[in-house]
Each structure stands twice: as structure tokens, then as C-alpha cells.
Amino acid sequence: MHDDRSLIEARLKRVLDERIRPAVYPESVPLDVAVWHAPGEPVPVAEGLAAEPEPIAVGARWGAPWGTSWFLVTGTVPEEWAGRTVEALLDLGFDENMPGFQCEGLVYRPDGTPVKGLNPRNQWVRVGAPVEGGEEVRLHIEAASNPVILDYHPFRPTWLGDKDTAGHEPQYTLTRMDLAVLDETVWQLVIDLEVLGELMAELPADAARRYEILRAVEWALDAIDLQDVNGTAAQARSCLADVLAVPAAPSAHRISAVGHAHIDSAWLWPLRETVRKVARTTANMTALIEDEPDFVFAMSQAQQWAWVKEHRPEVWARVKKAVAEGRFVPAGGMWVESDTNMPGSEAMARQFVHGKRFFLDEFGIENDEAWLPDTFGFAAGLPQIIRAAGSTRLLTQKISWSRTNRFPHHTFWWEGIDGTRIFTHFPPVDTYNCSMKGSELAHAARNFKDKGRARHSLAPTGWGDGGGGTTREMVAKAARVRDLEGSPTVVWETPEEFFDKAEAEYPDPPVWVGELYLELHRATLTSQAKTKQGNRRSEHLLREAELWAATAAVRAGFPYPYEQLDRIWKTVLLHQFHDILPGSSIAWVHREARATYQRIAAELDGIIDAAQRALAGEGDRPLLFNAAPHSRNGVPAGGAGEERSPAGATVSERPGGGYVLDNGLLRIGIDARGLVVSAYDPAAERETIAPGTAANLLQLHPDFPNMWDAWDVDAFYRNAVTDLTETEELTPGEDGRSVRVVRSFGSSRVTQVLSLPPGERRLLIDTEVDWHETEKFLKLAFPLDLHAERYASETQFGHFHRPTHTNTSWEAAKFEACNHRFVHLEEPGWGVAVVNDSTYGHDVTRSVRTDGDRGTTTTVRVSLLRAPRFPDPETDQGIHRFRHALVPGAGIGDAVREGWRINLPERRVTGAHEVAPLVTVDDDAVVVTAVKLADDGSGDLVVRFHEAHGGRARATLTAGFAVADVMVTDLLERPTDTPAPDRAGDAVSLRLRPFELVTLRFRRA
């Protein structure tokens, strides 16, 4: 037989495009359209419905950037359409290739009842099936003219990302507003042909099944009268019935389809628009659930559920009904799908506390899976947090985006820093926006790396990023491949049902130990510095507010601000979303974030001040309040007292220029360039700075990645570097105990103050940058005379080791990594820490000196600022302040302590008396991360702590109040089956594994 595959495949495409799809709606009549453009921000639904619209014609331009237009469409169903299915086709000017990234609408009935959402892949509204003829149609559309930020020429700078700079030019052209007859037979024929055509293209060229499908498609095309598609569609479908009825092979890969609409809580749109995106999507999904009995939809991010409840109660009622039926499934158990690299220990824990508690309170449902399909890599401390929240499973897809190495598993155990393991699945379909295309399903089956041992995978199905969700076309396709030869089998299932099957068939999968590093989007650790600083500061202010409010409640009857803290925590957690905290959102999002963090700081400072004054009482005695988990200046952790005042540092001139700082514990040599050329540790008789190098060295790189400007830094950025060594000023500080350095470069200016705090073995570096560069990357370098094959960087509830070498491609790919408050390098018996108050990105490299002692130089570089132009063309422009410290002679315990110290500065209050801590721990390796009253208002005290040095610990935790009972709880403060620790009076004895996390709940006597 002659090979005519390409001929028939090309015929199928043209006939589908030019004859069959247009025949889905064979008859139509125009609707009358009027519009009212809301001034400013969106208005309440009642106001939009009541507004007086003006006529507008199809073909007219509409919609200023970020505007809201209320369309009223009216018409009458023709009498001759009686008995047929009729739909309104409402095309606001959509580009079908951009679902979620442009204009959208939510359709209402005149009484304000929401009907469904409109988006580029969902433009229809059912009027009747069948209609009687003569029905009056009256629909309102709340249409959002969100501008296209990421278009066909991506990553080009645009001012559309903020309503203050976007202008007023209409963005869209009203394209179609019709009533139309839906020919369901033709619609079904389209789905038949799409499924078979897509499946055929994925089968081997010599497979008999491919030719069986090819012939059936040819016969179906022969059966169609191109001048009467509607009259011959049924006959064409009959030609396809046999090939669509052949069951799948018993060995076929099995896919659990989960209806899904990944909605970024902010990204190329502001938070207020996400509230509406969620309403549109949930309205669509509840409608689809009513129409499709097998369909199941899962939605994560408790914050988004809360938005529906607060802002769209009519949609919320439908959501609650679908949840009760088990068809609309809460997923993930987190407040938002947060970044997991940068949030601190408590913040990461609270993501699960607030997320799971919302679903428990609203529905009585507890999630067993963390659901993070789009997060940019996963910190090594996360498994323990997931388990401590009562969950055991994780789903993500994003690691498939890695550019250097292919991850070796799709289903596996992920082991964290403390040994906790979480059953983890990466969908091999390699997208969280699966649309049930044959190419996607075939890719999932071919790509699945655990073939032969397992056969189940999951496919999140529906348009996402900007929302939209699953369409009726996807559901129809899934129905055809439920059991179809040549295709994986597909069944709609909940995440729980999938994971149950996956664990049952694969009880002993391989193990991956340590972080799940995404070999992409590394620059998200640095972009939008003020967003990151706001997050770090808010986390530590919340710690202080809870600690001092709880202490004041127990000691002085202070009213504990439960609701206020709950609200602030949720706001901070929202801003940890994986496009806000990483700095990859539009300018509008980050402008609002900066303002939000300022409000939060003022509010939390108010709580802290009121609680501390209640504790200190009236008096003029100077007191130091120490919120850190270690004693400081003679004041215990979590207490207040009079501070010791050791002798301060001296500043003297250095031979050859520059200055020497000396406080008896460290001697710092600063040369005439303002660079640190010596950091001498007298106790160890050891120099910290590598010979011939200088620390506190600012380095400037060009930074123009191949794509994803705010997200990526590509390895070639290192090929060119400018050392900033020229000084404008080099003078002793006004306090006489520091050195001030001023530099200018490009259009920017840096002022640094170097100081040695009294009685402390750390060099403080306060850096102020007035930053006005474009597409540049600013680093702060510390070349250390240290030989270390690995280094530690802090992560949630512990630290994680990374190699300093690049033996393999896996190590080489980690050329930019995340730390929290410290990085630490060590030779046996002596180490160095670099701590920070607000930065996350860093790199560590090593070289061997070729002359002199031929020793090893290990260089730590802190990432300070970037200047990408997309999606915010003015990213990070302006003044920034950073604080870092170099800590010579530091063990890992010193790194932990100094990291807390720099992030929790002392507060000085005048009062009448000292304040004893609520809890004390007799081992510095056991770090208390939270002291608070229980969320249920019982008055119980909750204390969370972990082993922080990476070893075994035996410690006694003593309560500073009478204890009636103590129990071990999970993160949600619920009792676990772990036996209570040994107790003697008000003290408990603890034995902790390396990095073990424990939450204790004390009932007060």
C-alpha cells in the first residue's frame, strides 16, 4: 500500500479548521450590547448591575489597562430555534493562545447570580437545552481589561505593569456578541477527530493501530458533505465508533486527571485582580461539575478560598455544595502556594497551620498532600514541616524545568535534613496546565521514569497561571481516552485517590536526600530587595510580638491580640506567594507589598511596645529586651534586664593608608580603598582573609539572562566583573568606633559603615546603596583563607550542606543558592560565618593559590541587588540598606547565634523591673523559634523549638510559670501520639535528634 499518512493528516487539519469547527454553531443572531466603564478600581457587583450603560458595537475598542467594564447583552431567541440548544457566544476580544493572560469576564444574571467566567478558551454561556423559542436573554458581564504583559515578544520592558504608568489606551476589540445554535453532534465530532488525530500522531509510524485510526479518519472525512457538515456529522461519527471503542492494553500507563487551575495569587496582575480571577474560575468549575458527573476539581491556597467566601458569597455557596459532594476538593493545606526557599522556619510552619485550619474549620477536611506545582525549588527543611503539620505527601511539577540535569525519578521518597521522608510525585506530563492533548498524554507515558515498578501518574488538567480551569472539551477528551488502545488510560480522581494508588503499587520507591534545587530561576533569591526585606523583617517582628504579648499575658494580664496576629500572619503568608516574595511580579504588586510591609511593621511595633511597657512597669530603670533565643549582653533569651557594657572598639590609622579597628577580640585592617585586607582572630592566632585578597569587596556584573529577566541569572554573568575599589571618602565614623566608606559607580552610590561591636567577635558591615543601574548584578565578596569541601547555609529548622566544588554537573548547576540568616564554612576547630539581616542569594567558590603558601581560598559572595527590566522596568531603583557581619572563629553554634542576633536587635525600654523569660533552655543547640499563646484562646502556652547544630542534644526546658500539664503537639497545636517528655515540676527533659522539630503545649496551673 502506498504511504498516504501525510496526505490524510493534512486533510484532517484543513477540514477541521475550515469546515467542521465553524459548523459547531451553524446559525446565529447578534445580541444588543451596551457598556459602562467603571471609574478607578472595580465596583461592587450591585453597583455594576445598576449602572446606566451606553450602546457599543462589535468591532469597537474598549478597556483601558486594568479597567473594569460592565457589558449588558440583550436579545431574543428566535422562535424557529425551538427544541434546539442555544448558547450566547461572548468574545471580548480574546486571543485563544493566552488563557489567563488577558481580558476576562464574569457573567451575571440580572439578579446578581453569577453564571460562569469568560476567558479565551471559554466564551460560551448556555441559554437553553432545548429552548422553547422567544426567550428573552439579558446578561451582565463584569469584564476586566487586564493588559497583556507577557506577549508574543516576551520579556520586553513594559509600563503596563502598574496602573499608575499604564496609560488609558483601549486594550481590546469587542469581537463577537451573538446568540447561536449549538450543534452537539458536530461538537462531538470535533472532539472525536481531535482525539484520534492527536493519538495517531503519537503512535509509531509502523504501528497497525496508527493505520487503523488513519483509515477510520479517512472514511469519516469521506462521509462528510463539506456543504452540509451538520447534516452528515452523525454519519461521520459512526465511521469512528469502532476505533474509539478498542480498549487500552492492560500494560497502558494510567493517568489520574485532576481538574486544576493554577492561579498565581499575584504575578502579571495585582492581588485585587486575583480575587476576581478566582471567582471566575470557581464559577466555571462549579458549573462544569454540575454538567459532568465524572469530573473532579482540586483547588489549593486557602487564601483563594477565603477570597471567594468574602467577596463572592453566591459562588461560595456553589463551592460549598460541590465540596460536600466530594467533587470540589481542597488541596495542599497551605495558605498560599508559597516560595519554600526563603520563608523562615516559623513562616513555613504557619503556611500549613493557617491553610489546614481553614479547610478544617470550613469543611472538616484535612489535606494529606502538599500541592506546589509551580514553586521554584524546595528547601531541605520542608519534609519535616510537612510531616509536623500532619501531612505525608508532596506534588510538584516545576523541577522538570531544570536546565542542566534531568531529575531521575517521578515518584520517590524525599528525605529532609532531619531524616523525615515524604512520598513525592512529579507529574511526568511536565505541565500543571494539561489540556488532554494526545501529545501531552503520550509524553507522560514515555517520560515516566518509574516504568516497570509503577504505572500511575497524575495530570493537573486545566488552564492555569492566570486561571480558567478545566474546559468541557478537556472533559470530553478524557472520556474518550478513559480506555482507548494506544493511549494511557485517564480517569478523574482526587489527589488523595491518586496518592493512595501510587503508594500502594510502589511502597519502596527510591530516595532523594536534601534540597530539590531548581536549576533555573536562581535570581528570584535577589530580585526586588525591599520585598524580601519586608518579609524578613515581618517574620522577626511577628516572633517578637508573640513572645512579648504572651509573656505580658502570663506575667501582667495583658490582652493577647489573637485576631490581630492572625490577620497579620495571613498577610505575611500571602506575600510569600511564589511570585511575590521571589520578586517576579509586576511593579504594582511590589509597590503595594512595600506599603503593606510598612503598615505591618508599625502595627507589630505597637503590639511589642505595649507588651514591653506592661512588663517593665513605670520607672526610669534602663532595660534591654532580648527577643533572640540566646542570652545577650547578660540578658537571658526572652527576658529583659540591665545590659553589660564592655569596652568599645578603637580606630587607629593603618600604615600605608586606611584604618585598623580593634576591640580586643578581633583586629580588622581596612586599606586605603576601604577594603578589608585583614580580619585577625587573636585567640586562634589566625588570619581570616586569604593572602593577596580583600573582603567587603563590591563586585558588579552585567546581568542580561537569555529569558525570564526577573527570575534568571545565567552562568555567563560571571564572565565579566568590575571590582568597585575606587573611594570618594574613607573616614572614621562619627562615633569614633567605626570606619565610613563612600563609593560611586555608574549612576549609583554606596555608603558603608564598618564597626566592631563592644565585646563581640564580629565585623558589622552596614551598606546603603542608592541604586540606579540597569541589567547589573551587585555582589559583596569575602575571600577566606579556608579549606572546606562543603559549607552550611541556614534553612528552615536547621541548615543544609552544599559542596564548594563543581565535580559534577549537579554541583556546577548550584552557582547561586539560598541561605537564610547565615552561611558557615569550617576547617576542623575553626570556622567563619557570614550573616545577614535581609539577603538570601549567595555563591561560594574555591580556588588554590598558585604562589606563596599554595593554600585554598574559599570565597563567599552575598547577592545584594539586581536591575532586571521585566516585568518591572524599574526593579530595585532607589535606596537600599543591608546589614551583614563577618564572624571569624565561628563554629556552627556561633553562626546560628549571630544569625539571630543580627535579625533581632535589642530593644531598650525604661521601666521598674527586670522580666524573667517564660521559658529557658539550658543548651544553646536547642533553639526556640516560637513562644505564643495557643490559637484556640485557651491560655495554654505553645513553645516550638528544634536542634540547630546538626547533632544530638539533651536539654532541660524550664517554664517560668506553674505548669499543670505538658503535651507534644503537631504544628496545629493538636496532641500527637508522641509520649510527653519527662517532667519534674515546671521543667521537662528533652532528647532531640539532629534538627528535630518539637512543639510543646503547656497548660498553666
Burial class (CB in 10 A: 0-12, 13-18, 19+), 281: buried
Q: 10 Å Cβ neighbour count for 206? A: 7
Nearest to 794 by CA among 896, 882, 901: 896
Cell of 877: 531603583
In angstroms, the CA 892 to CA 936 distance is 37
Question: Where do we find the cell 558589622?
Answer: 764
Cell of 178: 451573538
> Are the beta carbons of 296 and 492 closer than 8 angstroms?
yes
Nearest to 399 by CA among 390, 388, 389, 411: 411
Nearest to 283 by CA among 139, 114, 141, 125: 114
In angstroms, the CA 673 to CA 724 distance is 9
* Catalytic, out of 374, 681, 837, 894: 374
Nearest to 175 by CA among 71, 257, 52: 71
- Sheet containing strand 621-626, edge to edge, reads 639-641, 621-626, 907-911
In angstroms, the CA 828 to CA 889 distance is 11
Question: Where do we find the cell 478597556?
Answer: 63
CA angle 610, 613, 615 (to 5 degrees): 110
Strands (E), 157-301: 172-173, 176-181, 254-259, 297-299
> Are the beta carbons of 909 and 627 closer than 8 angstroms?
no
- Residue 374 is a catalytic residue: yes
The dihedral through the CA atoms of 867, 868, 869, 870 has a sign that is: negative
Integer CA distances (angstroms), 919 to 939, 941, 958, in order: 15, 10, 6
> Are the beta carbons of 824 and 892 closer than 8 angstroms?
yes
> In 3-state terms, what secondary structure has residue 941?
strand
The answer for 412, left when phi > 0, alpha when psi is -120 to 50, beta otherwise, is: beta
> Are the beta carbons of 842 and 820 closer than 8 angstroms?
no
Between the two ends of the chain, the Cα-to-Cα distance in Å is 90
Catalytic residues: 374
